[in-house]
Amino acid sequence: MFFFKESKKEKQIVKNQQGKNQNQQQPNFLSTDLNQNLQELQNIYQHCMDVVFRQFKIGGKTKAALIYIDGLANIEEIDASVLTPLMKENNIDQLIPVNHILEQKLTISKVKKVQTVTECIEHISGGNPVLLLDQQSEGFALGLANWEKRSIEEPVGESVIRGPREGFTESLGTNLSLLRRKIRSPQLKTKSMKIGEYTQTEVVISYIEGIAEQTLIREVETRLSRIKVDGILETSYIEEFIEDNPYSLFPQVLNTERPDVVVASLLEGRVAILQDGTPFALVVPVSFYSLLQTGEDYYQRSLISTATRWLRYLFLLLSLLLPSLYVAILTFHQEMLPTTLLITIATSREQIPFPALVEALLIEIVFEALREAGLRLPKQAGSAVSIVGALVIGQAAVQAGLASSPLIMVVALTGIASFTIPRYPVGFALRMLRFPMILLAGTLGLLGIMFGLLMILTHMATLRSFGVPYLSPLAPMQGGEMKDVLLRAPWWKLDTRPSLTGTDNILRQGPDQKPGPDYGNDKTSRGKGGS
């Protein structure tokens, strides 16, 4: 028989969990003694200089206290709507009833009763002052939070030529209002939860009832409720906790700053996750092809959007394969090049001391370093450093005999191709895969490239995003949904939603809406025009 000693870490986890369960089973209700409640809250907020305990008397008789955090609560509204009307009340002969305070004294639209110390702490930390009265076992959380927030601006990373110019901010209330402005139906549902042991960050699940499948909603709620962490500062924390395959380079969750992208996803039956304190919202589930689409694809004419998508797919392949093809052809398959081009490349490589594999890896690493430096430097200097640095270093490398001119051009085309990918995580994944593809091309030639592509496709075929195949609707093949993948069909043809986790309520528009010369007349003429 073997005995395993419980580790110190496991003991601490069990102890913390037991403490949490005990606290949940024994809620600390407020006392009718105001001094006792204040003493407990003051012990909790000890050494917190920004927490204000404002004690006063209502009408000069009833003792009361207002607790709030300086900088989070609206001080002007506290003075005008709480302290002034309560302290100037002179018609008090006995204990003031609770309903009287709510209905007559507090001119505040949002007032919530609190019964435990834990509830008081949650509201105080959220910027809402808590009013406590003597001889009352209930307090009142006043909706007077006053967070500093950024104004609504156009997202820098997702700019469009045609389309809405507004983007999410760090205020959760503002972000939810942006969704409500676009979806005015009461079927838009929002469920809130707190994540983070210390940050207590508010996270909201948003979906359209009747369109999103209940199984998907329950799965999202389950994965979020499993997160037990000290705190979350950005939705990237949540993304890493809820992914199906966390070790994959490919993102399985869409992040966006655009309300119109989130609304379009909700109308397709997806679920959005919004977090207070960040402008980035998450959308699940997603497919690889949806990550290559932009909101502007649906604001341009269908033929233009289709041509743009094909161009995007082409440059995606170039971003992944162009350097490796260059290395493979120069190392193993010179006969594939025309003689004149081969002589030109050979002439440019006469003074190069490295093989094509080492040369390509070296220049690619330098290019990635310049790109990263351009992102991390201040905005005014970042673009200048990245562009000038690439030109100067490229020219110097050619003149010094460390790189050939054709390779510099190949790397530059690869960089341009990577910029056409609309989602940064997808582009970053392809940039990382470019290096093993170059190594395979330098050791096995075109056979190595084919081997690498098969490994990537096999991996992508095994991926799931909340149960949805990553390569759907191409693998598995769903012919009815291909009209919004390889093509962008006209809106009057996009009559069904993508089947994500079910087929309920799959129709999203009426039939026979194709415009034509007789469009707008009677049903018979409209049918002829739409044929």
Q: Enter the tokens of residue 324.
A: 């490796």
pLDDT for res 526:
45
**Three-class SS state of 466:** coil
pLDDT for res 107:
77
- Residue 205's nearest CA partner among 186, 192, 223 is 192
CA-based torsion, 276, 279, 283, 287: positive or negative: negative
Listed in sequence order, the residues at least 6 apart from 46 whose beta carbon sits closer than 8 Å to its beta carbon are: none
Instruction: Compute the distance between CA of residue 453 and CA of residue 430 in angstroms, rounded to an integer.
Output: 12
Q: Compute how many other C-beta atoms are within 10 angstroms of the C-beta atom of residue 292.
A: 18
Collect contacts of 327-333 with beta carbons under 8 A, ≥24 apart.
327/356, 327/357, 327/360, 327/438, 327/441, 327/442, 328/441, 328/442, 328/445, 328/446, 328/448, 328/449, 330/356, 331/355, 331/356, 331/357, 331/441, 331/442, 331/445, 332/445, 332/446, 333/445, 333/446
Listed in sequence order, the residues at least 6 apart from 494 whose beta carbon sits closer than 8 Å to its beta carbon are: 483, 484, 508, 509
Question: How are beta strands 139-142 and 111-114 bridged, if at all?
Answer: antiparallel
Which H helix or E strand runs over 254? strand 254-256
**Three-class SS state of 279:** coil
**Which residues share a beta bridge with 133?**
64
Domain residue ranges in the chain: 34-142, 172-286, 301-468
Instruction: Compute the distance between CA of residue 371 and CA of residue 461 in angstroms, rounded to an integer.
Output: 30
Instruction: Compute the distance between CA of residue 276 and CA of residue 292 in angstroms, rounded to an integer.
Output: 27
Side-chain-side CA neighbours of 456 within 13 Å: the count stands at: 20
Cα end-to-end span (Å), the chain: 79
Average pLDDT per block of 10 residues along the chain, 531 residues long: 47 53 63 89 90 86 88 86 78 55 72 88 89 86 83 86 90 92 92 91 93 92 94 93 93 94 92 94 93 89 91 93 93 89 85 87 86 72 63 74 84 88 91 94 94 95 92 84 85 83 76 73 46 37
**DSSP code at position 33:** -
Instruction: Compute the distance between CA of residue 146 and CA of residue 346 in angstroms, rounded to an integer.
Output: 68
Q: Which CA distances in Å does 172 have to 76, 177, 202, 418, 508?
A: 23, 9, 8, 32, 29
Please give the model's pTM, rounded to 2 decimal places. 0.84
For residues 216 and 271, the answer to whether their CB atoms sit within 8 Å is yes
**Three-class SS state of 153:** coil
Query: Does residue 134 come out as left (phi exceeding 0), alpha (psi in the -120 to 50 range) or beta?
Result: beta
**Which residues share a beta bridge with 207?**
189
Q: Enter the tokens of residue 486.
A: 């390889």
- Residue 168's nearest CA partner among 287, 282, 300, 290 is 282
pLDDT for res 145:
86
Question: How are beta strands 62-69 and 51-58 bridged, if at all?
Answer: antiparallel
Q: Which CA distances in Å does 137 have to 23, 37, 382?
A: 19, 9, 59
pLDDT for res 91:
57
What Rg value do the Cα atoms of the chain yield, rounded? 31
Backbone angles phi, psi at 157, to 5 degrees: -85, -5
The letter for the amino acid at 504 is D
Q: Token pair 């809820």 is at which residue?
A: 242
- Residue 421's nearest CA partner among 511, 315, 519, 506 is 315
